[in-house]
Amino acid sequence: MRYKQKENHKIKKLITLLGIIILVTIATIILHNMYLEIEPYQSPLEEQMQVERLSTTVEEKKEESKKIVEVIEEVNESIVGISKIKSSGSSIFSENGISELGMGTGVILSEDGYILTNWHVAGEKYSNCYITIENGKIYNGTVMWADSDLDLAIVKIAAKGLTPIKIGDSAQVQVAEAVYAVGNPIGFEFQKTVTSGIISAVDRTIKIEEENKLSYMEDLIQTDASINEGNSGGPLVNVNGEMIGITTIKIASVEGIGFAVPINTIKPIIQKFLQTGKFEEAFIGIYGFDREVIPYLNGNIEFDSGIYVDEVSVSGPSYKSGLQEGDIITQIDQVTLNKMSELRNYIYQKQPGDNVTLKVLRNRREIEINITLGKRG
């Protein structure tokens, strides 16, 4: 009997405890919901500060947008249209449209008429083209320098008072940086069109197959800003309106991938033209590849740094000095080399007849080769 009383007492205690737990849980839920419905008190000063912060953010966005508009307007003053055939006023949508007219874009480098564009737009050295400036006036242009490997050319027109573009530093370009491509995307009827994007990658190498010929363009800037045949040759600019590259190629099979040649690649040539009005190009006489390109050519070739010499011109100074195919150039005049663009840039700063010393790896043995630079015709 006493045992049963104890059992009943335990059961009552357990039921009481469960009831308390249930009541506490319900009370907690009710209080929590009531708390969520209470709006926190904000003093008038706090409300004013919140409005001011929001207003400041909106104003900053407006100022940023206004700045970009002003920057692009300034860039547009330096944009020109280029054609290999003088326009007769017919529409670009006619049968002799953009492809037959050979239209493209260029950018003004100097007040007195030096213009930078693509080689495939302007043509070979000493060839002629037609330049249309901002006010619609057409000039005869002469190609003063051209390089098909870089797809770059410099053209001269007899003009004064032009607005040159600001030149930036492509070595400072960063991935995800905002950029703008400016040009004539499908001819003069759509001149000075702007497309925006970001820097997707740097130091890109692109394989190009044209007319059964295989070549590579190296050290390119990759962007998702729209680039096509018409605005090729125009500038790729940063948010400050500084030209960091020249747009050059678009992969037709992949949307949103375009490329530009870094402006630093051609800076020495631009400077010589602007300072002296001429450029005598020194010639070393080799065709080489960066280390990153070699796996495309021969998977059995391995080296840690330097430039692989793929071809030596038999009429060039390197051949006469003993440089051979398969050599790996690691230095020029004690300057370390890892890219063809670095060698090219160094040679651009030299004069025909200057002497340079190459440090070369051949069969894993280091040798030095002295070369007297020639003159490119």
**CATH code of the domain covering residue 265:** 2.40.10.120
pLDDT band with cut points at 50, 70 and 90 for residue 94: very low
pLDDT band with cut points at 50, 70 and 90 for residue 95: very low
Identify whether residues 215 and 291 lie together within a single domain: no
Q: Which token pair is 148?
A: 């098909």
Q: Which token pair is 303?
A: 């080296």
Comparison of pLDDT for 186 and 29, the residue scoring more: 29
Q: What is the rounded end-to-end Cα distance, in angstroms, of the chain? A: 122
Distance (Å, whole) CA 274 – CA 277 = 6
Neighbours of 376 (CB within 10 A): 17
User: Has residue 91 got a pLDDT over 70?
Assistant: no
Is position 142 within any domain?
Answer: yes
pLDDT in tens, 212-247: 676 778 889 999 998 877 788 999 999 999 999 999
**Among candidates 361, 363, 307, which has minimal Cα distance to 338?**
307
Catalytic residue chosen out of the listed positions 83, 170, 200, 232: 232
Place of tokens 């006619």: 94
User: Has residue 96 got a pLDDT over 50?
Assistant: no
User: Has residue 116 got a pLDDT over 70?
Assistant: yes
Percentage of residues in the chain having pLDDT higher than 70: 78
Q: Which residues face 247 on adjacent strands? A: 260
Residue-averaged pLDDT of the chain: 83
110 belongs to the catalytic site: no
Is position 18 within any domain?
Answer: yes
pLDDT band with cut points at 50, 70 and 90 for residue 59: low
pLDDT band with cut points at 50, 70 and 90 for residue 366: very high
**Among candidates 137, 136, 130, which has minimal Cα distance to 155?**
130
Identify whether residues 343 and 267 lie together within a single domain: no
Identify whether residues 203 and 140 lie together within a single domain: yes
3-state DSSP call for residue 206?
A: strand
Identify whether residues 32 and 114 lie together within a single domain: no
Catalytic residue chosen out of the listed positions 120, 147, 226, 327: 120
Identify whether residues 79 and 121 lie together within a single domain: yes
Is position 57 within any domain?
Answer: no
User: Has residue 51 got a pLDDT over 60?
Assistant: no
pLDDT band with cut points at 50, 70 and 90 for residue 4: low
Is position 61 within any domain?
Answer: no
Chain centroid to CA 136: how far?
29
Q: Which range is least confidently modeled, 98-102, 164-168, 213-217, 357-361?
A: 98-102
Instruction: Give the length of the chain.
Output: 377
Mean pLDDT over 144-166 rounds to: 95
Boundary residue ending a domain (257, 276, 295): 276
Boundary residue ending a domain (276, 308, 331): 276
**Among candidates 289, 273, 291, which has minimal Cα distance to 281?**
273
Mean pLDDT over 302-319 rounds to: 92
Q: Which range is least confidently modeled, 30-34, 68-72, 111-115, 196-200?
A: 30-34
151 belongs to the catalytic site: yes
- Residue 330 sits in a domain whose CATH number is 2.30.42.10
Can you give the pLDDT at residue 281?
A: 92
Can you give the pLDDT at residue 175?
A: 96
Task: Among 12-16, 40-44, 86-90, 298-302, name the most confident range.
Answer: 298-302
Identify whether residues 318 and 187 lie together within a single domain: no
Is position 120 within any domain?
Answer: yes
Can you give the pLDDT at residue 93?
A: 36
Domain that holds residue 342: 282-375
The model's pTM is 0.77
Plot region of 314 (φ>0 → left; ψ -120 to 50 → alpha; else → beta): alpha
Catalytic residue chosen out of the listed positions 147, 151, 219, 310: 151
Is position 250 within any domain?
Answer: yes
Q: CA–CA distance from 209 to each of 212, 213, 254 (Å)?
A: 6, 6, 16
Identify whether residues 232 and 352 lie together within a single domain: no
Identify whether residues 87 and 222 lie together within a single domain: yes
Can you give the pLDDT at residue 302?
A: 82
Place of tokens 């099979």: 253
Distance (Å, whole) CA 107 – CA 233 = 8
pLDDT band with cut points at 50, 70 and 90 for residue 361: very high
Mean pLDDT over 35-62 rounds to: 61
Mean pLDDT over 296-320 rounds to: 88
Is position 65 within any domain?
Answer: no
Identify whether residues 235 and 345 lie together within a single domain: no
Plot region of 164 (φ>0 → left; ψ -120 to 50 → alpha; else → beta): beta
User: Has residue 260 got a pLDDT over 90?
Assistant: yes
The backbone torsions φ and ψ at residue 144, rounded to the nearest 5 degrees and listed phi first, read -90, -25
Identify whether residues 260 and 349 lie together within a single domain: no
Can you give the pLDDT at residue 325?
A: 95
User: Has residue 7 got a pLDDT over 70?
Assistant: no
pLDDT band with cut points at 50, 70 and 90 for residue 40: low
Boundary residue ending a domain (242, 276, 310): 276
Can you give the pLDDT at residue 217?
A: 82
Instruction: Give the total number of structural domains in the chain.
Output: 3
Can you give the pLDDT at residue 317?
A: 96
Q: CA–CA distance from 6 to each of 14, 110, 214 (Å)?
A: 13, 106, 98
Is position 14 within any domain?
Answer: yes
Identify whether residues 151 and 205 lie together within a single domain: yes
Identify whether residues 3 and 130 lie together within a single domain: no
